[in-house]
Amino acid sequence: MDYRTKAINCVKDTVLPVIMQWFRESDCDLDIYCQKYGETEFSYAKVIEKGHIYEMGYPRCVCPEALAGGKEASFCECSRQSMIYVLENMMPEKHIEVEIIETVLSGGEKCRFRVSVE
């Protein structure tokens, strides 16, 4: 399955415009963004190492397709790809890496991702 295309189609017209607006309101600074918008009903973001390492994710599974059932943990690659896509749009000049720490589908309490920005 092409999770990258699926992820982009999922977030490009919904999540991306909202996140981009919040990012602009944060002076295009990811540290400020995490402070201002790091705790919402649907997502969280916190600074681990200013300007470089972040933990981002979801307090619960927010994917309608996963919530419908029958998805394995590998399906969470779609969430990872959507996070990469959004972050690359926020900071096109940066190199972004996103690593899955844990997901609800893999038995985790919440969906957690480690984000590295270079």
Report the C-alpha gap between 73 and 94 in whole angstroms.
Answer: 28
Q: What is the pLDDT of residue 78?
A: 96
31-70 pLDDT, tens digit per residue, is: 999 999 999 998 999 999 999 999 999 999 999 889 998 8
In 3D space, the residue among 85, 68, 71 whose CA is nearest the CA of residue 15 turns out to be 85
Encoded tokens for 14: 């919904």
Residues in the chain: 118
13-36 pLDDT, tens digit per residue, is: 999 999 999 999 999 999 999 999
DSSP, collapsed to helix, strand or coil, labels residue 93 as coil
DSSP annotation string for 43-78? -EEEEEETTTEEEEEESS---HHHHTS---GGGGHH
Mean pLDDT score, 5-9: 96
Q: Domain total for the chain?
A: 1
Is the distance from CB of 104 to CB of 110 less than 8 angstroms?
yes
Q: What is the pLDDT of residue 70?
A: 87
In which domain, by residue range, is 24 found? 3-117
**DSSP symbol at 109:** S
